[in-house]
Structure formats: C-alpha cells, structure tokens
Amino acid sequence: MNMEKRLSLPNDVRHSIETRIQELGLYFIDRDLERINTSWVREFYCNFFRSTLDSVHLRGGKILITEAAIEDALHCPRRTGAIDVCDQAEIAIHTMTFDYDALKHVIATPDAIWVMDYGNKRPKGMLFTYLTREAQTWQHIFACYVMLTTHFTEIPVDMLVLIGCVMEGNEVYFPKLIRRSMWRAHIQSLLPFPSIVTRMIELAGVPWRDDDETPPFSADDDKKDVIPWGGWVHEKPPSRRRSRARAAIEAPGPSSAPILLMTCIIYPFFLHKEDHKRAQI
C-alpha cells in the first residue's frame, strides 16, 4: 500500500512551495492525514475492475469515483474551463508543437539534457538529478498525491509538465489526474491514495467494523513518512576538486599484496629444489 506522506519541506524551498499551495488551493497535499482503513482500501481496489466505472460498490455502499466526487473529497478548486494547461500541453506534445526548451528553463538546471525516446524524435523524460531543488520537491509531492510512481531516477514528461505548470502558477485540475492515476496504479498491483479512498468511502456512509485494519502509527520523521526524502534534501557541499597532476602524484600504486603472496608460495618450492640437488651430489 502506497501511503500518503507528510510535508517536511527544506528551508530553501519552503516559501515558494507553500505560496503555490495557497495560490492554487492544493490543501490536500498539506494537511493532517486522517485515519486510514486498509481493509476498505483493499476491497475498494478489488472492486475497481474497469477504468470506465463511475462508482465502486463496497459493503452495501456506492462509492462514487468520478472527478466531481474526488473534487468534493479533497476540497479541490472547481474546474473553470473545458481544458487546463496540462490538457493543452498534452495536445501540444501529441502534435509535436510543445516547447520543451521553455519547460526545461522552468524546472531544470542549465546543464540539463533530455532523455530521448527510442526513435530519438522527442524527449520522453529527464533524470531526477537535473531538476532544480524546488522541482525535485514537487516531484516527490506529486508522486505521492497525484501521479503515483515508484521510480525516481528518470522522470517522465507528463510529470515534468505538471511540475512546470505548478511552478509557473498555472491552474491545474487535479481530480482528473488523480482519477487517471488511480486506475493506472491499480493495474500495476499498487494500492494508491489510501487516505483519499478512505475519505471517499466515509462520505458514502460505509460504517467501520471492529475487525477493520489500520496501518501502524509511526512518529519517526524518516524518509518513509515525510516529503521530500533522500540524500539530496540535506546534501553536503561538493568536495574541492584536485588538479590532475596532483591526483596523479597522490594516486596509490598497485598493491604489493599479490607479489608478497606469490613470494610466500614460490620460495619454499625453490628451497626444496636446492635441497634435492645437494642430496644428489
């Protein structure tokens, strides 16, 4: 089960990210996580057997899984237009008119390079290490709350587009992305968004049972419980580089251990051979 995590933002990106959360109404990613019913979550995804379903039946209750239902459960801002900037970007990518350089300027370091597709025709993603620290933090947030993923080395273009839209302050309709990710993660044998699912089932009036399971509580702020996580969050400054000449002088030579070992093996053999010659004389 892929649990949602609490925010513990680094100081250098806290202000910019909290500002975007306030401006775009992304309160569902910065709130106290409610109690999770893991029994409900397992039953919910067992009954979510087709991507086109508008509802899932669970213990006599009907749980709506439409974009509007997700919007109500998360208190997301309502959609103001037929399509948002992510929809527009998706269309531009398919029609080969998307401005990848503009996106890279927003989310990546100056030395960033794209990972190209098989035919080398267009970018398919970018390595996590090329993202700015703010973009890296947003990637962790969205990977937990919007586009569930368990891979953090190469970030796909659709995630990068979402990060760029939010960093520029553009309006994004998140219920659509969450609804799509629910199905994609489910068919990959993952159980995404347990807090959201529990909230939606509660809104449907399904009662708790005494034998319903909840995840064990953890009070430790380690990488398993908070966003962001990983060594890059509190990375140390890079060590000073040495000149090539100095490195060559200081470079250790080959170990003498193999030579010593061969000497220990061969020397007794020569001694035995000399003793044998003397005995013949």
What is the arithmetic mean of pLDDT over 19-48? Answer: 87
Question: pLDDT digits over 70-122, tens only?
Answer: 999 888 888 877 778 888 999 999 988 999 999 999 999 999 999 998 888 89
Q: Is the pLDDT of residue 205 over 70?
A: yes
Name the residue with higher pLDDT: 228 or 181: 181
Percent of the chain clearing pLDDT 90 (strictly above)? 43
Question: pLDDT digits over 5-19, tens only?
Answer: 888 888 899 999 999
Rounded CA-CA distance 155/164 in Å is 13
Q: What is the pLDDT, as a whole number, of residue 256?
A: 42
| Amino acid at residue number 46 | C
Q: What is the pLDDT, as a whole number, of residue 17?
A: 93
**Integer distance in angstroms from the first to the last C-alpha of the chain?**
83
Name the residue with higher pLDDT: 155 or 27: 155
Q: Is the pLDDT of residue 135 over 70?
A: yes
Q: How far is CA 106 from the centre of its chain?
A: 19
Q: How far is CA 231 from CA 11, 29, 56, 159, 228, in A?
A: 15, 22, 40, 21, 10
Question: pLDDT digits over 210-256, tens only?
Answer: 999 988 765 554 445 677 766 666 554 444 444 343 333 334 444 44
Range of weakest confidence among 90-94, 156-160, 261-265: 261-265
Q: Quickly state the pLDDT bin for 186 (edges 50, 70, 90).
A: low
Pairing between β-strand 55-58 and β-strand 6-7 as defined by DSSP bridges? unpaired
Q: Let me know: does 77 contact 96? Beta carbons within 8 Å.
A: no
Name the residue with higher pLDDT: 221 or 172: 172
Rounded CA-CA distance 176/192 in Å is 15
**Per 3-state DSSP, what percentage of the chain is helix, strand, and coil (rounded to 5)?**
50, 10, 40
pTM: 0.77
Helix, strand, or coil here: 268?
Answer: helix
